[in-house]
């Protein structure tokens, strides 16, 4: 398959929006990543005394002013708040203000913002109300604000977007699945513009407790900033994070017509399933290596064109090695490839991870700088020869970047971005 040349089918990125532990501005977010700052700290929004893990990359002092009215802001789950703010900020970044939206055919604009867990706080509070006070005390907003599709639905209602609109929920691969599906809607002619990404707000007692029960989390309470350590021999699990990452994906024809700034180009992507285990990846990385190969085929490029990998790299014992196994299967020569792990600083943002890491990829393309992977002290032997940007940022001209995201259930996803060339 050759690289796409039809301006009606070429997919470019014209806007980015996020909510992160480093704030809601993607430039400031990437500056913090480049500086090697960790967003991981002790949890302070609830009592963690009974939990073996007491830290996360928790968003503090979240500001939605100007994007959500005060009444809704009090009612909404943080998952929805993050989705609405990041979606609106992405539209602003794309130059799609109210006046610009009036000139669009809104039936050709869709929204695909997913979530791995949806409105978890609203769900937790609804169950608590039922158990403690009875069914009459359940809020009528319980179901609407708990389901995973409501963030994208509310954004569409607010803006009048009538194109494809649904939610994907594939655990920690959610945002990449959304990008892949959104791009296919554009290429199939279903839409000219898609708002796509993921949002997650899991840092509450039931979220923390659930992942503790899965034995998935680091318990390095003595050194929270050192807990997320992908590929390091002393890693002991992932660190929870939260936030949202949203892209405006648009046909090149539409972007040119309205004179939009183009951040980068989406070349292609792929999704596969391990069909192996509920939580563990295949140790040989077959599902992942197949996904990487299919994404390269979809992009119409060769393996040698990719020189940057934003790895899934959650800091788990099995997952980190399985991903590197897959990378080595596909990239026979790793000398010219650099690979880093955003999660070493912002934790694992679950359904939002792919969105926030896609923005890191695009910023790497724009700045020519790769952020460090923190806590690289003693790497697994299998990583030898791969430059993980260990503990320091690296200057690097990105020719094409692949971003990997994998989720419970064996869901694998890869998306590829590149500098835009007219």
Q: Quick: pLDDT tens for 35-56.
A: 999 999 999 999 999 999 999 9
Distance between CA atoms of 390 and 372, rounded to whole angstroms? 6
Q: Which backbone phi and psi does 354 adopt, to 5 degrees?
A: -60, -35
pLDDT at residue 204 greater than cutoff 90: yes
pLDDT digits (tens, 9 = 90+) for 345-391: 999 999 999 999 999 999 999 999 999 999 999 999 999 999 999 99
User: Residue written as tokens 């390091």?
Assistant: 232
* pLDDT on residue 272: 98
Per DSSP, the residues of 313-379 read --S-HHHHHHHHHHHHHH-S--TT-EEE-THHHH-B-GGGHHHHHHHHHHHHHHHSEEPPBS--SSB
Rounded mean pLDDT, 61-80: 94
Distance between CA atoms of 138 and 125, rounded to whole angstroms? 9
* pLDDT on residue 2: 84
Tokens of 233: 């021999």
pLDDT at residue 179 greater than cutoff 90: yes
Distance between CA atoms of 138 and 128, rounded to whole angstroms? 9
Domains defined for the chain, CATH in brackets: 11-264 (3.40.47.10), 268-418 (3.40.47.10)
Let me know if 172 is a catalytic residue: yes
Residue 263: CA count within 13 A, CB half-sphere: 26
Read off the pLDDT band of 247 (50, 70, 90).
very high
Please state whether beta strands 394-395 and 369-370 pair in parallel, antiparallel, or not at all (unpaired): antiparallel
- Cβ atoms 421, 183 nearer than 8 A: no
The catalytic residue among 19, 79, 172, 389 is: 172
pLDDT at residue 23 greater than cutoff 80: yes
pLDDT at residue 1 greater than cutoff 80: no
Rounded mean pLDDT, 237-257: 99
pLDDT at residue 194 greater than cutoff 90: yes
* pLDDT on residue 283: 85
Closest among 407, 9, 412, 416 to 172, alpha carbons compared: 407
pLDDT at residue 206 greater than cutoff 90: yes
DSSP run (H or E) holding 100: helix 98-102
Give the mean pLDDT of the chain.
Answer: 97
pLDDT at residue 114 greater than cutoff 80: yes
Read off the pLDDT band of 322 (50, 70, 90).
very high
Read off the pLDDT band of 63 (50, 70, 90).
very high
Spell 209-222 as b/e; 16+ CB within 10 A means b.
eebbeeebbbebee
Distance between CA atoms of 406 and 326, rounded to whole angstroms? 12
386 to 59, 324, 401, 404: CA distances (angstroms): 32, 9, 15, 16
* pLDDT on residue 320: 97
Rounded mean pLDDT, 150-167: 98
pLDDT at residue 65 greater than cutoff 80: yes
Closest among 405, 242, 412, 411 to 309, alpha carbons compared: 405
- Cβ atoms 54, 238 nearer than 8 A: no
Read off the pLDDT band of 284 (50, 70, 90).
confident
């Amino acid at each position: 398959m050759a690289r796409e040349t039809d301006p009606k089918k070429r997919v470019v990125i014209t806007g980015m929006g996020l909510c992160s532990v480093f704030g809601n501005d993607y430039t400031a977010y990437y500056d913090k990543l480049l500086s090697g700052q960790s967003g991981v700290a002790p949890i302070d929004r609830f009592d963690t005394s009974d939990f073996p893990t007491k830290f996360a990359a928790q968003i503090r002092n979240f500001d939605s002013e100007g994007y959500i009215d005060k009444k809704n802001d009090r009612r909404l789950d943080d998952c929805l708040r993050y989705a609405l703010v990041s979606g609106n900020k992405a539209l602003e970044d794309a130059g799609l203000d109210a006046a610009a939206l009036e000139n669009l055919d809104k039936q050709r604009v869709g929204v695909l913002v997913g979530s791995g867990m949806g409105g978890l706080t609203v769900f937790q509070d609804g169950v608590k109300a039922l158990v403690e006070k009875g069914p009459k005390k359940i809020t009528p907003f319980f179901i609407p604000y708990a389901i995973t599709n409501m963030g994208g639905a509310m954004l569409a209602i607010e803006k009048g977007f009538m194109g494809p609109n649904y939610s994907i929920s594939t655990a920690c691969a959610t945002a990449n699945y959304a990008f892949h599906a959104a791009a296919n809607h554009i290429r199939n002619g279903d839409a000219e513009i898609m708002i796509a990404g993921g949002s997650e707000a899991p840092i509450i007692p039931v979220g923390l407790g659930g992942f503790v029960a899965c034995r998935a989390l680091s318990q390095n309470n003595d050194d929270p900033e050192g807990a997320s350590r992908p590929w390091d021999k002393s890693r002991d699990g992932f660190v929870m994070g939260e936030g949202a990452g949203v892209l405006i994906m648009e046909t090149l024809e539409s972007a040119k017509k309205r004179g939009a700034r183009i951040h980068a180009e989406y070349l292609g992507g792929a999704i596969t399933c391990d069909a192996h285990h509920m939580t563990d990846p295949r140790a040989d990385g077959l599902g992942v290596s197949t996904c990487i190969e299919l994404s390269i085929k979809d992009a119409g490029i060769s393996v040698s064109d990719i020189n940057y990998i934003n790895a899934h790299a959650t800091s788990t014992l099995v997952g980190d090695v399985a991903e590197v196994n897959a990378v080595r299967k596909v990239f026979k020569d790793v000398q010219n490839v650099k690979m880093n792990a955003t999660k070493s600083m912002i934790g694992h943002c679950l359904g939002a991870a792919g969105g926030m890491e896609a923005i890191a990829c695009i910023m790497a393309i724009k700045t020519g700088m790769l952020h460090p992977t923190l806590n690289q002290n003693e790497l697994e032997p299998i990583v030898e020869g791969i430059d993980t940007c260990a503990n320091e940022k690296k200057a690097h001209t990105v020719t094409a970047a692949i971003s990997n995201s994998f989720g419970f259930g064996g869901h694998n996803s890869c998306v590829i971005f590149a500098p835009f060339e007219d």
